[in-house]
Structure 1
Amino acid sequence: MKPVTLITGASGGIGSALARQLAPSHDLILTGRGGAALEALCTELGARPLILDLTRPETFERALAGLGRVTHLVHNAGVVDLGPVAEQEHAVWTHTLAVNTVAPAELTRLLLPRIREERGTVLFVNSGAGQRANAGWGSYAASKFALRALADALREEEAGRGVRVSTVYPGRTATPMQQRVRAQEGGEYDAGSYLGPETVAATLAFVLNAPRDALVSEISVRPAPR
């Protein structure tokens, strides 16, 4: 029986690359806000779409009703809005924390009974900003530091139930999100200087497919020197 893997933020970048790598050996549930990209990817891979609004975690329970088996949960969706603490208003902080931290916590809570039954994995796609906060990255880094805390606590809580909890910290990756980040930073976007999304996806797939006697708790992956 194939594992059933649910990936958030699956319609582009790292999410779609991971879906394509897993498709031959996993049944996939791909989440997003809907639209042609998600629909096309699900058609291509024979995956099930799941529409979720990550700003409204109160809607998750109804959306997940009747979902069936879930073996692995990959938290890949995220938002970033750069700016100094002196200038970012509370709405930016609230939105960033809601999508990057609160939504993963609630989705995990609701899916844990299924994941426990499968002795599956909860995998958090974090960021280098979850290990160090630089100027202008306060709200995003805070959300990713909190995501790390969520993963660390969950790992300890679920160890006795056979649930593996892992965090991957990718460096800059050649994705549309990175293009937006570079625009906010006022710099050039050079895809050749960054990790490829397929490289990060291969790292995530390695974590999910690791033999049952191994727990890969954390991995940092950075662009190699050019």
Structure 2
Amino acid sequence: MSTHLITGAGSGIGAAVTRRLLERGDDVVALARDAGRARELTALHPGARTLVGDLGTPDRLSWAFGQQTMPDRIDSLLHVAGVVELGRIGELTPRAWHFQLNTNLVAPAELTRLLLPQLRMAKGHVLFVNSGAGLDAHAEWGAYAASKHGLKALADSLRHEEHANGVRVTSVYPGRTASPMQAKVHQQEGKEYDADRWMDPGSVATTILMALDLPRDAEVNDLTVRPGR
């Protein structure tokens, strides 16, 4: 049985991956921003454990983990959580930049740093759910795309640094996926949201599990997934 630590387990892709892992009997530790959210995740995913740490304040993750019992072994660290706030460069405030950069980039870097000892011991896997915006930036997506371009650089550097330690690193770049986050994006864009137009989170979860389940002689570095309709 493998142990997976996942962010963003409360909805969308993260919730779909968490369900799949629990259904097959794996051990899942879901990161929650506070104690209240931890209770919600426990109710949503019976059998999952929780760890409390706010991705919005990455400087405090080390302190938060020091107050809790950490998993002895981590076979995979799944960075799924993300936030988005659209806006033109000429209008985005530092608050909007920090909001997205902290959660989407700095927190994954810090979380990875803190958990590398367990990942190295298990010859584990770090998987980043990135975005199509991590490969191509468009108008009004500047801050979000910058955070996701940075996440790609983080993954690529980590892959080179940890290869000798047996740690595999994968970036997944989903296109638009039916989720609460996608509904928020449509609201910011002033568009009507129709979930049937976009990928089901379970389809992205299938690609994530494929990358995790590859035999040790293979590694998926980058995986792009797009809506098929």
Q: Specify the TM-score bucket, using the shorter chain as the normaliser.
A: over 0.9
**Structure 2 counterpart of 1:26, one-letter code:** D
Q: Return the alpha-carbon distance in structure 1 between the equivalents of residues 195 and 57 of structure 2.
A: 33
Letter in 2 for 1:132: D
Offset at 1:58? Answer: 2.6
Aligned counterparts of 1:93 and 1:62: Cα–Cα separation in 2: 24
Alignment of 1:11 with 2:10, yes or no, is yes
1:118 aligns with 2:122: yes
CA contact (8 A) 2:53 2:65 kept: no
Gaps of 5+ in 2: none
Count of aligned pairs? 222
Shift in Å at residue 50 of structure 1?
1.3
List gaps (5 residues or longer) in structure 1: none
CA shift digits 1:15-52 (9 cap, x unpaired): 1100011112320001122435313123x2x1101121
Matched, 1:183 2:187: yes
> Could you tell me whether the CA contact under 8 Å between 2:3 and 2:74 is conserved in 1?
yes
- In structure 1, what is the equivalent of residue 52 of structure 2? 51
Amino acid at match of 1:216: V
- How far apart in 1 are the matches of 2:196 and 2:167? 37
1:77 matches 2:81: yes
My pick for the range that moved more, 124-133 or 27-36, is 27-36
**Are residues 1:213 and 2:217 paired?**
yes
Aligned equivalent of 2:44: 41
- 2:129, 2:175 → 1: CA distance? 11
Task: Give the drift of 1:62.
Answer: 3.4
Asked if 1:166 is matched to 2:170, the reply is yes
TM-score, normalised to structure 2's length? 0.94
Which residue does 1:103 correspond to in 2?
107
SS for the counterpart of 1:184 is helix
CA distance in 2, matches of 1:41, 1:213: 35
Instruction: Calculate the aligned-residue CA RMSD, in Å.
Output: 1.1
CA distance in 1, matches of 2:62, 2:94: 27
Q: CA separation in 2, counterparts of 1:70 and 1:61?
A: 17
Aligned-partner Cα distance in 2 for 1:201–1:117:
25
Partner SS for 2:171: strand
SS of equivalent residue, structure 1 residue 31: strand
Deviation by residue 1:132-171 (Cα, 9 ceiling, x = unmatched): 0000000000000000000000000001110000000000
